[in-house]
Amino acid sequence: MDENSIFAPALKSTKAMKHINLTIIGKVHHVGFRFSAMEAAFRFAIHGFVMNSGHDKVYIEAEGTEANIELYLGWCRKGPLGARVDQLDVEEAPMKNFTGFEIRSRAQGNAQ
């Protein structure tokens, strides 16, 4: 069976994948930030999660191609209408291979 066959296994992506942890500080509560972050993740093919993380903070773990991560970071620097991003901390981390994107409660974990 050749690689052009419809029965050939899917080829792995050759694009470099990246995992980042984001802490966003500012007016990010009561403005739909988490829901909008999830919508933006779907738009930019980002996997991971978003959650509130204390007073005026949102925490996001995001995975995707380097290009899509940069697009998502651009959205995170502005946030949705009504939000104000005062600080964006970005940290690279090992891949966790998320399979979707979700809104988590603080009890579900991993926030700093």
CATH number for 34: 3.30.70.100
Comparison of pLDDT for 14 and 77, the residue scoring more: 77
User: Is residue 68 annotated as part of the catalytic site, yes or no?
Assistant: no
Task: Give 76-110 pLDDT, tens digit per residue.
Answer: 999 999 999 999 999 999 999 999 999 998 756 55
Domain count, the chain: 1
CA 46 to each of CA 8, 50, 61, 109: distance values in angstroms, whole numbers, following the listed order? 26, 11, 10, 19
Instruction: Say if 84 falls within a structural domain.
Output: yes
Instruction: Say if 110 falls within a structural domain.
Output: no
Instruction: Say if 101 falls within a structural domain.
Output: no
Question: Using 50, 70 and 90 to split pLDDT, how confident is the model at 6?
Answer: very low
- Rounded to whole angstroms, the Cα distance separating 61 from 103 reads 11
Instruction: Say if 23 falls within a structural domain.
Output: no
* Nearest one of 111, 98, 90 to 41, comparing CA atoms: 98
Range of the structural domain that residue 76 is part of: 28-95
Instruction: Say if 83 falls within a structural domain.
Output: yes
Instruction: Say if 4 falls within a structural domain.
Output: no
Question: Using 50, 70 and 90 to split pLDDT, how confident is the model at 75?
Answer: very high
User: Is residue 34 annotated as part of the catalytic site, yes or no?
Assistant: yes
Instruction: Say if 77 falls within a structural domain.
Output: yes
DSSP 12: P
Instruction: Say if 7 falls within a structural domain.
Output: no
Question: Using 50, 70 and 90 to split pLDDT, how confident is the model at 68?
Answer: very high
Helices (H), ranges, the chain: 33-43, 66-78
Which of 4, 21, 34, 77 is catalytic? The answer is 34
Which of 52, 68, 77, 104 is catalytic? The answer is 52
| End-to-end Cα spacing for the chain | 49
pTM > 0.75: yes
Task: Give 29-53 pLDDT, tens digit per residue.
Answer: 999 999 999 999 999 999 999 999 9
